[in-house]
């Protein structure tokens, strides 16, 4: 997932590869407790899922069957699945009707769906339907789409939401292959995180196959009025017809990115790589659903300045999808590696200066996060302890950015060549496995550090992984381009330069972001007016620049910007943008009223992931 304030995730019972230093794909897995799942994979574990679902937009409901192929320990008489807000109609074991029990529903993790099986049972079939409020599903009315003519459905399964649309063992340590038959209205196209055939079927019937084993949080489905644009034989983009042309232009470097990624860390393992551009209510930047990244349209800036997100989601094809965090406590293994890898892809295609510019901005975010957390907060350790908490609580800059700087620190200590060789081998030897932080550290010690005490001291694994804040060996990255923008802001603020005197004609998005971030909360109304007049921030369509500007609009009470603020919040549901804007509003003495008044209008257009966060933030109760 691309950085957003989404928090962390699951735990449950799942399998991780054993802790030997040379993990092999065939090794017998051992089970670990995942406190966010009811699965008991050491007794009976899902190996393949077949879905047969009907998509009903009127009822906002998926209904049909999930057929699970399982492997048992030869002794158990129960299969435990995760279910939340599902209506279970009936269950069969190897063709015979069988009994089931749905446990009491708990917050976030839902219910234990316990199914009576025999020790020899191979297949379990569940007839079920979803709730209109299923947290993974967003049902959009035509007005909530870019085109405005057809409804749209999309899923977001990470972290523990797959169980709200599929009865499954919903833990990142359990992997299975899947196939699906999806029936939707005849004029719409269905796509999944699987093999898609890119054309509209007139009968609305689609079949899918996912031959590589994936964890449940990568289950994904979208249904809507979609068009496909192909780049080459293995990559392309899906979007609503009104968006497809802009999207196709924006992501044109995708084939180059795939080639760059393969050069760095080995062959792409998933066949096709496509991107699906969703309507603006998608709560995240992107979601790395295998073969089909789901992406927010807010990265379509018209100048390809925000495509690092595609590099990020593509990088997940290695870190996350191929080698997966075994528990959500190990989330940094997914995201820290991915941000590091994303930066390497960006550097390869756009050059080191460009990549450094992005890194410097991220370092600013990370330092802010760490400052807010305080010097001893255990949530600023890379390895987290999320037991008993909402898994959505752990997604912060720590996993993403502190994780990335840890890997950059190792690269600085051993040199790029040696580090790249290590990473290539790491991905190859742990492909299609879910691993823990301990497994990674053992492997790092065995394959890279190899008993070299001076090197171990230089890297200082413990300080990074089990300590707070940023260790002393955190790499220092600088960017002259960012410096230029910051200096310009300072000379404007001090009165040394007028806005119209700033030479910004060659500036990119990232320079504008750092310019605006340099402007303090107490930027005067006269200065705000002058900036707006010179640079038209209120009118910009670049969502990143707009969000930075709107933060200033709120802080400085620049009323001319209020209609744009409301308009933005009523059209964009990406949590990375909307959460800080609402936070800034309610931090003002009289801002809560304004926040609630906008939220009442905007809420219906947000995904449940976003409304859950904002309901809590604004103490909002639905009437």
Catalytic residue among 268, 400, 443, 558: 400
- Residue closer to Zn ion, measured from CB, 121 or 362: 362
- C-alpha dihedral (401, 406, 409, 411), degrees to nearest 10: -100
Reading the block at residue 146, the tokens are: 């870019």
For residue 520, which of 556, 573, 567, 469 has the smallest C-alpha distance? 556
Total residues contacting Zn ion (rule CB under 5 A)? 3
- Sites for Zn ion among residues 308-367 (CB under 5 A): 335, 338
Considering the complex, what minimum distance in angstroms separates the CB of residue 334 from Zn ion? 7
Please give the full DSSP string across 215-256, using - where no structure is assigned: EGGG--EEEES-EEEEEETTEEEEE-HHHHHHHHHHTTTHHH
Nearer to Zn ion, 170 or 401 (CB): 401
Cβ-in-10-Å burial (0-12, 13-18, 19+) of 428 comes to middle
Kindly state the tokens that stand for 209. 């196959």
Query: What is the rounded distance in angstroms from the CA atom of residue 373 to the CA atom of residue 379?
Result: 8
User: Residues 599 to 618: which contact Zn ion by CB under 5 A?
Assistant: none
How many CB atoms lie under 10 A from the CB of residue 230?
12
Q: Minimum CB separation from Zn ion for residue 338, in Å?
A: 5
Residue nearest to Zn ion (CB): 1
C-alpha 109/C-alpha 83 separation (Å) is 8
335's tokens: 């995201």
- Distance in Å, CB of 608 to Zn ion, minimum: 20
* Active site annotation includes 593: no
Residue that the structure tokens 């049902």 belong to = 139
Active site residue 401: no
Q: Which residue has the tokens 């001090």?
A: 494
Smallest gap from Cβ 310 to Zn ion, in A, equals: 12
Contacts of 617 (CB under 8 A, 6+ apart): 579, 582, 583, 586
CB 482 within 8 A of CB 511: yes
Tokens 């005197």, residue? 501
Q: Which is nearer to Zn ion, 83 or 398 (CB)?
A: 398
Max CA distance (Å), the chain: 82
Residues 42-81 that bind Zn ion (CB under 5 A): none
**Exactly one of 313, 342, 347, 555 is catalytic; which is it?**
313
Please, what is the minimum distance in Å from the beta carbon of residue 312 to Zn ion? 6
Backbone torsion region of residue 469, taken as left when φ is above 0, otherwise alpha when ψ lies between -120 and 50, otherwise beta: left
111-116/78-83 β-pairing? antiparallel
- Contact pattern from residue 104 through residue 133 relative to Zn ion, giving x for each residue in contact according to CB under 5 A and a dash for the rest: ------------------------------
- By beta-carbon proximity to Zn ion, the closer residue of 309 and 585 is 309
Binding segment for Zn ion among 1-9, 70-78, 144-152, 173-181 (CB under 5 A)? 1-9
* Site track for Zn ion across 140-179, x = CB under 5 A: ----------------------------------------
- As measured in angstroms, the least distance from the Cβ of 400 to Zn ion is 7
Shortest spacing between CB 88 and Zn ion, in angstroms: 33
Buried/exposed code over 546-585 (b: 16+ C-beta within 10 A; e: otherwise): bbbbbbbbbbbebeebbebbbebbbbbbbbbbbbbbbbbb
Q: Cβ distance 311 to 342 under 8 Å?
A: yes
Q: With respect to Zn ion, which residue has the nearer C-beta, 286 or 605?
A: 286
Does residue number 545 form part of the binding site for Zn ion (CB under 5 A)? no
- If the CB atoms of residues 1 and 355 are measured against Zn ion, the closer one turns out to be 1
What does the alpha-carbon distance between residue 251 and residue 214 come to, in Å, rounded to a whole number? 26
Least CB distance from residue 1 to Zn ion, whole Å? Answer: 4
Nearer to Zn ion by Cβ, of 10 and 53: the residue is 10
Residue 97 CB burial class (10 angstroms; 0-12, 13-18, ≥19): exposed
Contact status: 1 vs Zn ion (CB under 5 A): yes
C-beta of 4 vs 509, nearer to Zn ion: 4
* Min dist. Cβ of residue 309 to Zn ion (A): 9
User: How far from 374 is each of 365, 380, 574, CA to CA, in Å?
Assistant: 14, 9, 27
The smaller minimum CB distance to Zn ion, of residues 56 and 335, is found at 335
Q: Which residues bind Zn ion (CB under 5 A)?
A: 1, 335, 338
Q: Which residues participate in catalysis according to the annotation?
A: 313, 400
């Amino acid at each position: 997932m691309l950085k957003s304030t989404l928090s962390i995730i699951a735990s449950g019972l799942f399998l991780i590869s054993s802790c030997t230093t040379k993990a092999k794909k065939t090794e017998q897995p051992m089970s670990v407790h995942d406190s966010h799942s009811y699965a008991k994979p050491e007794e009976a574990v899902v190996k393949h899922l077949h879905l047969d679902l009907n998509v009903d937009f009127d009822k906002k409901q998926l209904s049909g069957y999930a057929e699970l192929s399982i492997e048992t320990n030869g002794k158990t008489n129960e299969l435990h699945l995760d279910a939340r807000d599902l209506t279970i109609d009936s269950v069969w074991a190897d063709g015979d009707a069988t009994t089931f029990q749905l446990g009491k529903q708990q917050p976030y993790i839902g219910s234990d769906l316990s199914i009576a099986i025999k020790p020899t049972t191979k297949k379990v079939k569940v007839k079920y339907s979803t709730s209109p409020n299923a947290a993974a599903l967003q049902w959009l009315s035509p007005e909530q789409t870019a085109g405005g003519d057809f409804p749209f459905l999309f899923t977001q399964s990470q972290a523990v939401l797959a169980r709200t649309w599929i009865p499954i063992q919903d833990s990142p340590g359990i992997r299975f292959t899947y196939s699906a038959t999806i029936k939707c209205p005849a004029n719409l196209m269905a796509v999944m995180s699987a093999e898609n055939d890119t054309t509209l079927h007139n009968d609305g019937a689609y079949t899918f196959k996912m031959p590589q084993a994936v964890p449940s949080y990568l289950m994904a489905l979208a249904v809507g009025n979609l068009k496909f644009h192909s780049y080459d034989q293995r990559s392309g983009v899906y979007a609503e017809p009104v968006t497809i042309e802009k999207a196709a232009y924006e992501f044109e470097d995708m084939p180059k990115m795939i080639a760059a990624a393969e050069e760095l860390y080995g062959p792409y393992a998933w066949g096709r790589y496509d991107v699906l551009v969703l309507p603006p209510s998608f709560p995240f930047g992107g979601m790395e659903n295998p073969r089909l990244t789901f992406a927010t349209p807010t990265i379509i800036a018209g100048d390809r300045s925000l495509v690092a997100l595609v590099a990020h989601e593509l990088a997940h094809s290695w870190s996350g999808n191929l080698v997966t965090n075994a528990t959500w406590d190990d989330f940094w293994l997914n995201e820290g590696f991915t941000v590091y890898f994303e930066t390497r892809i960006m550097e390869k295609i756009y050059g080191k200066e460009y990549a450094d510019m992005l890194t410097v901005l991220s370092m600013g975010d990370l330092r802010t996060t760490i400052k807010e957390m305080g010097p001893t907060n255990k949530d600023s350790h890379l390895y987290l302890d999320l037991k008993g908490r909402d898994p959505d609580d752990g997604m912060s800059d720590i996993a993403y950015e502190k994780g990335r700087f840890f890997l950059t620190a190792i690269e600085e200590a051993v040199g790029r060549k040696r580090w790249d060789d290590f990473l290539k081998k790491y991905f190859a030897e742990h492909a299609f496995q879910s691993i823990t932080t301990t497994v990674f550290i053992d492997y790092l010690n065995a394959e890279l550090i190899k008993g070299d005490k001076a090197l171990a001291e230089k890297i200082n694994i413990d300080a990074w992984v089990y300590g707070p804040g940023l260790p002393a060996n955190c790499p220092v990255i600088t960017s002259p381009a960012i410096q230029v923008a910051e200096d310009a802001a300072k000379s404007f603020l001090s009165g040394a330069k007028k806005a119209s005197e700033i030479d910004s004609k060659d500036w990119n998005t990232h320079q504008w972001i750092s310019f605006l971030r340099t402007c303090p909360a107490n930027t005067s109304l006269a200065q705000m007016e002058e900036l707006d007049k010179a640079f038209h921030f209120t009118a910009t369509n670049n969502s990143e620049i707009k969000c930075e500007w709107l933060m200033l609009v709120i802080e400085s009470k620049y009323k001319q910007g209020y209609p744009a603020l409301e308009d933005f919040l009523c059209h964009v549901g990406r949590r990375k943008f909307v959460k800080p804007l609402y936070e800034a509003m309610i931090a003002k003495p009289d801002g809560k009223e304004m926040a609630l008044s906008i939220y009442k209008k905007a809420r219906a257009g947000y995904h449940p992931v976003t409304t859950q966060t904002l309901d809590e933030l604004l103490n909002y109760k639905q009437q």
